[in-house]
Each structure stands twice: as structure tokens, then as C-alpha cells.
Chains A and B, each alone.
Chain A
């Protein structure tokens, strides 16, 4: 048997693929955070709670209204995105002119309230969301058994990430967004409704979190604490990638998934700290992050 660093090649490639799948989640979540921070300069601590809301929205749509996974994949982000837009319009907007720390505190408080509310309603053990029948089962790749659903996650996450990057960096709408945050007064003067643009952007970032939540629902327990566990890692990913860098968030998300996956083979005890070690090194060598622009 071929060995790679003392691990059978088959196991090595298996773990590499699993790392990539987890990386897809990190990429989707950090992408939303990066958009919100990059364009609105809000450190969105409610992102984990919004991811959880996405999973719960899918769960409730299925159990209360009988709406299936495929529709939920579209509807849940829409619903949670609208909630996000309302949060921006009625809460975050009031504090845009003061220090960023207040945005952080506000979103952190919101996250605690939302999670507390769901804990009261649903308990902490969570609920099961079934894998859609079209994607149940799996395939033996020779080096590992790959559930179809995990393959789907990577594919759809990469497609969504690239589409979002394209939307923001290459289209006219994306141009408005970037210009609007750079110099809102000037954009206003050109007749563009900047406050609306900002509201929609926040809603869109939140919808991305909810989308990741729907993707996660069939493979993790749909529980109120599911986002809190992920959020800190995702923040580390954003910092490593460079705060506000869209491409940085995507590439770093996937890369950190792989780094973490390999750690789980070679030294599993460190698997939840390895990303922070990487973060420390990156901050020492490139304080603005891998893809960030030096201020």
C-alpha cells in the first residue's frame, strides 16, 4: 500500500476530500462575513445565529408546511435574508455613524437572543432533517465511501462562491456596491439609493449564511448552538484571508478546511486549534491577511 506521511494513500485522499467539503462551508460562511464587513464595515457576530436560522427555517418549512429541501434551498435564505434586511434597516442603521465596536456588540447581543429563544423553543439536542431522497446513498470511490450529499455540498458551494465573486467584482451592480461604500455621498449625488443598497447587501450576506445552514441541515443535528460552534473558526478564516476580501474568503475557507481535515488524521486533539495557529502566523507575517490590501 502506498503511504503518504505514514498514512495509507487511500485514507490521505479521503481526508483531503472531507477537508474540502468542510472547507466549502467555511468558504460560504466567510464569504457572507467578508461581504458584510468589506462593504458595510460591520463585524457581523450574528452570522452563526443566521446560519442556524437557515437550518431551522428549512426544518420548519418541511415539518409545518411540507416544503421539500429543494424549495427550502431557495426559500429559507430568502426568509432569513429578509429578516437580515429588517435588522439592518431598523437596528444597524442607527449605529453606522459610531464606532464599529457597537455594531459588533449589537450583532453579538442579537445572536445571544436568537439562540436563547430557539433553545427555549426547541431544546439543545436539536432535530433531524432528512437527506433529500435524490441525494441519499453514496458511491465507493475506491479510496473512500463518498455520500452523494457531501459531493453535492462541494459542487453547489463552489458554484455559489464563484457566482457571488463574479457579481461583486465584475458586474455593474457590484460596482455600485463597492463605490457606494467607498463614497456614499458621491453615489447619492448620482441618484443611486445608497441606504437601500446597504440594506440589500446586509440581507444578501445573511442569506448566504442561511443558505449554508440549509446545506448543513441534513448532515448535522439542527440545533440552536450549531452556528456558535462554527462562528469563531469562520472569523479566523476571514482574518487569514484578509478582512473584506471576497476571493480571500473563498480560497482561505477551502484551504482551512483541508488543513483542519489533515490535522484530524495526524493529530486530532489539535483539530480545533490549528486554524488559530495559522491565523497567528499569518498575522505575524502579513498583518492584513493573505489577500488583504495593506492599509
Chain B
């Protein structure tokens, strides 16, 4: 009897400390780990400037939450899921990290969130594209912020089909991300009454695209879509310009196109290309004001990923302050309770599958005559309203969604 009493007391005590831990900032610090590609293909769109955006958020918040210091550490994921798993594991076990920011290549993010799942830390995903991150790979321990492949395929493709681009030729990166984007595009184009004439799949990091462009040209398709990313997209667009696709009456569609890609190409080469973005630095007053501050520190205009990192970190720190806890469960519930109203979006909200739902934008790259300076790159064609932008919950395969 005495033993049972002892065990019970111990159990109650443990439960109480656990409860107390949930309602407190552990280790007297809020620790944020920034995990991103710092040196490879995706360095420019996230990378060191993303870390700067994160630091800006921490500074703007005052550097402390409820008197506890906010500490930032960072690591290069080298676009490797293995590096991501082991880094996050170490951050959880020995560094007691409370939040993981950045999270760029989709494969890296899926590996990292698997480790985060069930822990006390939360992941705020900004760099990744794959919509599966909040679909079959959803966990209660992460939120996907800036954008995903669903609106990329949906809006770019349907806008172009609506303008009469019925037949498509797709140049696809031959790995998971490219395949999923290709499938999404195929679904949309066929639904809208168009068809995919042919596709060609190229290995990741191909340097010469002339062969694929020539095939696209010979196919006679009205639209040549690039379902690839980063340097591959940049080189595809350069070669498309060189071989005069536009002059021969074909429309070029880059399905995932970052501000940093367009900047690398310049408006002369990229003019007229339509794309979907989650945010643009010149879209409104708040965005401009924040991007001016960012520009002063980095000498570059922020991509949607950089803006998303700032926005999500601010929203996170506010939730930590409001609850006085850095526990993932508590903070995520608080983050979902409040709408996101900042330089990134107005009225954004976090769904049960972890998707932050916000307006997306269909943009077009300016012509040299329209562009006033090296970063004056997009004109917003139209706003894609938040509610129709992302995959509807009714189609969700996420286990967190109650049906």
C-alpha cells in the first residue's frame, strides 16, 4: 500500500512538473535553430540572408521574451536529408532548441519534421515547395508558411490556359519535386481543357538545356513549361531566349520562379514570364518598408522565403510571449488562434494541417522599359484569394484533419 502511495505521489509530481514545464520557457532561453542551404543551389533564396531575416525578427521583438533571452543558432543542411535529421536530433537532445526555422529543400524538410514530430519543438517551414509537407507528411510539430506547389501549378497553369495556351510541353527536373509539380500541372491543364503534348525529364543540375529546348520547339506546343527550380530554371530560361521560343510564338512558363532567379536573369531575358509568388517586396507599403530595412543589411531585396521567415518568427515569438511557454503544442495552438497581420499578409490563418493560408499573387516579369531598377522586377497581375489558393482540406490526406 505504502509503495502504491509512493508511486502515485511520484506520478502526480511528474505530471505536475510536466504541466509546469508546458507553461514555462524551458532552460531560461528561447532557442531558435536556423537550418537551411547555406552554400548550394538554394543558397540565394534562403541561405545567409534568411538567417539575417530571422535575426531582424528577434531584434525587432526586443531580443527577449518575458525577460528570457532569444538565442539563434544556425547550420548548413547541404541539401541532405541525413544532415538535416542528425542536426535536428542534436539540436533537440543537447542544445534544447525550441523552434527550427528555414527548412528549404523539400526532402530536407520532410526528414527534419519527422524528427521534430512528437518533440517539444516546432518547425516553421518557409523554403520548401512540396505541398505534401502539409498533406501526407503533416505533423503537429510544424507549420508551412510562405508557399507550396499547389498554387504554383494551379494558378500559373490555369491563367495561361485561360489565355488560350492549350497545348503544353513540360521540361521537368527528374526528382521528387519535379515529378509532383509535373503531376499538379497535368491535372490543372487537363481540367481546364488543355493537354500535355509531351514531357522531357532532365537530371538535376543540368548545364545545357539546348537539346530540350529544341525538342520543345519542334513539338509545336503553345506553352513550354519549366517544372524545375533554381539554377536549372535560370539556364532553361536563358536557352529559351537564345533559341527564340517567344519569337516563334511559344509562351514560356516558369512554374517555380524566385525573385533571386529573376534577378540573376535580368528583365531583358526574363521579361513577360508569368509566375506565382507568395509575397513580393514592392506589393504594398508594409512590404516595402520592411524590405528597405532588409536591403540596408543585406544589399539585396528579400525573396518570399526571407519575408516568410521574418513573418513566421514574429508570429511565433508573439505566441511564446502570450502563453509564457515555448512548448510546441501550446505555442502552435496559440499561433493558430491569432490571425497573421503583418508585412507578409493580412488575415492569414493556420489550418489544422499546418498550412498557413494567405493570399498568393500571379505576377509577371516587367519589361526593361517598365523596370526602374535592378530589383523592380514584377508587376502583380492579380491576387489569388487565400481561400482558393491552397489545397482544400476536403482533399487532404493529412492525419490531423478531422473528416
Contact = CB atoms under 8 A, between A and B. Distances in A.
A91 interface: no
Contacts of B269: 128
B190 interface: no
B212 A145 contact: no
Interface string B37-50: 00111111000000
B394 interface: no
B205 interface: yes
A19 B203 CA distance: 17
A123 B206 contact: no
A269 B200 CA distance: 8
B218 A18 contact: no
A11 B242 contact: no
B243 A261 contact: no
Given A125-B230, A126-B231, A127-B264, A219 B203 contact: no
B203 A124 contact: no
B55 interface: no
Contacts, number: 113
Interface string B295-326: 00000000000000000000000000000000
B288 interface: no
B28 interface: no
Nearest to B205: A229
B208 A22 contact: yes
Contacts of A246: none
Contacts of A289: none
A178 B262 CA distance: 49
A149 B263 CA distance: 23
A15 B244 contact: no
A264 B212 CA distance: 7
B242 A221 contact: no
Contacts of A145: 214, 217, 243-244, 248
Contact of A219 (B39, B230, B239): B239
A145 B249 CA distance: 14
Interface range for B:
35 or more
Contact of B218 (A8, A226, A271): A8
Interface in A14-50: 14-15, 18-19, 21-22
A258 to B, nearest CB: 11
Contacts of B106: none
Given A10-B218, A124-B44, A223 B231 contact: yes
B243 A220 contact: no
B265 A123 contact: no
B242 A147 contact: yes
A269 B203 CA distance: 6
B238 A220 contact: yes
B206 A272 contact: yes
Interface in B252-274: 260-261, 263-266, 268-269
Interface in A220-274: 220-221, 223, 225-226, 229-230, 261, 264-265, 268-269, 271-272
Nearest to A218: B242
Contacts of B94: none
Interface string B205-234: 111101110110110000000000011001
A221 B201 contact: no
A264 B206 CA distance: 11
Nearest to B200: A268
Given A125-B44, A219-B239, A265-B215, A150 B234 contact: no
Given A269-B174, A269-B203, A220 B264 contact: no
A219 B214 contact: no
A11 B43 contact: no
Interface in A116-139: 116, 119, 123-128, 130-131, 138
B214 A15 contact: yes
B89 interface: no
A278 interface: no
A226 B205 CA distance: 10
Given A116-B39, A125-B234, A271 B214 contact: no
A221 B206 contact: no
Interface in A190-219: 219
B244 A144 contact: no
A272 B261 contact: no
Contacts of B268: 128, 130
A207 to B, nearest CB: 21
18 contacts: A124-B41, A124-B231, A125-B230, A125-B234, A125-B261, A128-B269, A131-B242, A138-B243, A138-B244, A145-B214, A220-B235, A221-B235, A225-B205, A229-B207, A230-B207, A264-B212, A268-B174, A271-B211
